[in-house]
Chains A and B, each alone.
Chain A
Amino acid sequence: MKKLTPKQEKFCQLYVELGNASDAYRGSYDVKPDTKPETIHNKGYELSNKVELKGRIEEIRANLKKANKIDKQWIIDQHQEIIDWYKELKQLAKQEDISDKDKKRVYMLKDLIKGSDFRGSLDSITKMLGLNEPEKVKQDIKIEIIEKKRD
């Protein structure tokens, strides 16, 4: 990878931190007070799309995820936990006789989980795994051409 200038490196760091190319540009380059916002926007956009900077931005993001031990699987696991709590509550609710221990569990779980959390987690997992894409259905369409005779 081509070595970046100190300003480009700072731009990449700020871009990941702020999530905005214009702000990252302002923080890493000498921007004059009278510089037009469109100019800053264009410069930031150009920089964020340069191949070598894009690569560095991805690298910083990957390192951050690694440092925080956050990846797709971790996020799915968190959602799965919410779903499991909800399922456990539902299961408890269906029991005819709820033991004293289970009653305590229900009361404890009620602080952790709401029905909307369950639905939200299902939605998130569905989107993350791309399960909400429309199913492709192959259809054979027969077109019948009826010739109409002229009288």
Chain B
Amino acid sequence: MRRFVWFLVIALAFLHYDFWYWDDRTLVFGFMPIGLAYHAGFSLAAGLVWLLAVRFAWPANLEAWADEVDDAAAADAGEGR
């Protein structure tokens, strides 16, 4: 599933280049130029794909790694937590 999610992200990147609507002035719902409607839909699709990403491609071990204390590095940075 993780790979499928990343495939969807890459697919979206390609779908962003909608050359097929380049000179199309069709109005969707009577007011929305189709080139704008497509990209508004793209934004919604991006939100959906990122929902899948946080559900199925979440880096579960990141949190635990962040919580491990690295005293030497913290001293280097001169900043406590």
Q: Does B bind A?
A: no
